[in-house]
Amino acid sequence: MQSRPALAVTQASDGSRARAKSTTTAAWHRANSYLETLGTRSHAGHASEQDVEREPLIPKDNPAAAGANDLHGGSTVTQTTLNSMNTLLGVGLLSLPLGFLYAGWLIGSLLLLTFALLTFYTAKLLARCMDSDPTCRSYIDIASRAYGPRGRLITIFLFNLITITACVALVILFADAMFALIPDLTRTQWKLYPGHWGLRLHGCARLAGRIWLRWTDGSLLHPAYTTLLPQDWSKMPLSLGLLMSPWTAHAILPNLYRDMAEPAKYGRAMAWAFGSTYLIDVTIAASGYLMYGSDTGDAIVNNVIRTTNSWALAVALTVLVALMPVSKVPLLSRPLVVMAEYAFGLVSDEQQESKNLLVHLLRCGVRILWVVILIAAAIMAPDLGIVMAFMGSAMCFTIAIILPLLFYLRIFAPKLSAAKKSVLVVLLVASSISALVGTVWACGFGSG
């Protein structure tokens, strides 16, 4: 008789633990169910731009072609080309002149061309991986096809990391541009503005009297001093990440491939996209380095703002740069915030949410915490150049070259000749070494 209450208490305790465990498991299952969507949305593009999946630049307008094949959409070659370029041309473009400064004309030109060719090649490898399994519709699906759930989780982690890094880079870019125009406030103070503060009216009124002018315009007619080889060989490895950072559109290329009405023309679309992007990149890199030489900054737009004689141009460039964090950071942040809400069970029916004040407050708290983490990371980051070098080396190499090579080798290993397999392994080893060296140098200069 006396043992029954104890047994009841034990059973109740076991039941509580089971309910707690099931609640926790359910929360993480909700988060995991969102991960697949998150992985596609959260790509930063090189930061990059790279960075998240962007909305299509040109909408689909070919429903007849779309219905021809259930596995593919209705996008034309032109639409796929422009959508790919829209992803490739991101924030990394602004740091290319700095990459040329660190590498010199010879090495910088060779690296930029090599990265363009390699990423173009791996973009086509991803399409071949998609063809091996009609159910693959995204980069994460390819990772799962090659390496199972572990490959999926690692890929999602990389997408999240590049998204966070892209957000940090945008905040730093905003602060640097505003500091170049209005040095009354420090860079750290400017980093506190994006997303939750606005420009004060009295600050806007004093714009005309507070522009920092050095009256030494960069000019292509009177180029600055440049060098064929690196001026400082100790900084040359940083150019690996800087020159690689614009080439990370691969996270959404599988989606674009599946969306094509004629997937056989995917290679042509990629040739146009990567070729056009390379011409734009090399023009920006060479022009910026020619104009400013050893004074080239982390982002070429900041050089223009500091040195231009035109007040209107300085203000226009600053406004354009300032709009990037305001418009892009919320878009990049949303998948991460929603994933956190799923993990903690804060996503519920709208009617229930309106009645549950605690859930609403907790969701607000998640967003506030994200803003605090983002700004703290931007304040601790040394400068935009180091952030872009780290992102290019640690993440862009991995997503755009290393993982596609691994996926292809894993899926097609039995069908590959020994010669082709050897070439792919050499590319894989060389890319991995470059990524490792660039990451170590970026972390070393960042901590130093």
Q: How far apart are the first and last CA of the chain?
A: 72
Of the spans 168-172, 189-193, 215-219, which averages the highest pLDDT?
168-172
> What's the pLDDT at 25?
46
Top-confidence residue, 320 or 23: 320
pLDDT digits (tens, 9 = 90+) for 311-356: 666 677 777 776 777 767 777 777 777 777 777 777 655 545 555 7
In a domain, 141, yes or no: yes
Torsion angle of C-alpha atoms 78, 82, 83, 85, degrees rounded to 10: 140
Q: What is the mean pLDDT of the segment spanning 217-224?
A: 67
Top-confidence residue, 360 or 136: 136
Of the spans 169-178, 216-225, 248-257, 293-302, which averages the highest pLDDT?
248-257
Q: Tell me how far apart the alpha carbons of residues 110 and 283 are, in angstroms, rounded to a whole number.
A: 14
Q: Tell me how far apart the alpha carbons of residues 271 and 146 are, in angstroms, rounded to a whole number.
A: 26
Token pair for residue 78?
């032109």
| Whether pLDDT at 146 is above 70 | yes
48 CB neighbour count, 10 Å cutoff: 35
CATH of the domain at 117: 1.20.1740
Under 8 Å between Cβ of 275 and 87: no
pLDDT range class, residue 175, cuts 50, 70, 90: confident
Under 8 Å between Cβ of 307 and 291: no
In a domain, 107, yes or no: yes
| 288 SS3 class | helix
Token pair for residue 71?
């596995």
24's CB contacts (< 8 A; 6+ apart) are none
pLDDT range class, residue 309, cuts 50, 70, 90: low
Amino acid at 370: W
233's CB contacts (< 8 A; 6+ apart) are none
In a domain, 210, yes or no: yes
Number of domains in the chain: 1
> What's the pLDDT at 191?
80
Residues in the chain: 448
> What's the pLDDT at 45?
40
In a domain, 28, yes or no: no
Q: Tell me how far apart the alpha carbons of residues 316 and 301 are, in angstroms, rounded to a whole number.
A: 11
Which domain does 242 fall in, by range?
A: 43-447
Token pair for residue 116?
């363009």
Torsion angle of C-alpha atoms 179, 371, 324, 440, degrees rounded to 10: 80
Q: What is the mean pLDDT of the segment spanning 81-94?
A: 87
pLDDT range class, residue 304, cuts 50, 70, 90: confident
In a domain, 9, yes or no: no
In a domain, 183, yes or no: yes
pTM of the model: 0.75
123's CB contacts (< 8 A; 6+ apart) are 249, 250, 253, 270, 274, 404
Q: What is the mean pLDDT of the segment spanning 125-133?
A: 94
Token pair for residue 61?
């307008």
pLDDT range class, residue 272, cuts 50, 70, 90: very high
In a domain, 26, yes or no: no
Phi, psi of 45 (to 5 degrees): 65, 45
274's CB contacts (< 8 A; 6+ apart) are 84, 88, 116, 119, 120, 123
pLDDT digits (tens, 9 = 90+) for 390-443: 999 999 999 999 999 999 999 999 999 999 999 999 999 999 999 999 999 998
Q: Tell me how far apart the alpha carbons of residues 294 and 133 are, in angstroms, rounded to a whole number.
A: 50
In a domain, 406, yes or no: yes
Q: Tell me how far apart the alpha carbons of residues 340 and 347 are, in angstroms, rounded to a whole number.
A: 9
Under 8 Å between Cβ of 255 and 78: no
Q: Tell me how far apart the alpha carbons of residues 26 and 71 are, in angstroms, rounded to a whole number.
A: 32
> What's the pLDDT at 377?
85
pLDDT digits (tens, 9 = 90+) for 92-116: 888 999 999 999 999 999 999 999 9
Token pair for residue 106?
């010879």
| Whether pLDDT at 365 is above 70 | yes
> What's the pLDDT at 271?
96
Q: What is the mean pLDDT of the segment spanning 214-232?
A: 73
Under 8 Å between Cβ of 72 and 259: yes
Under 8 Å between Cβ of 301 and 321: yes
Amino acid at 222: H
pLDDT range class, residue 62, cuts 50, 70, 90: very low
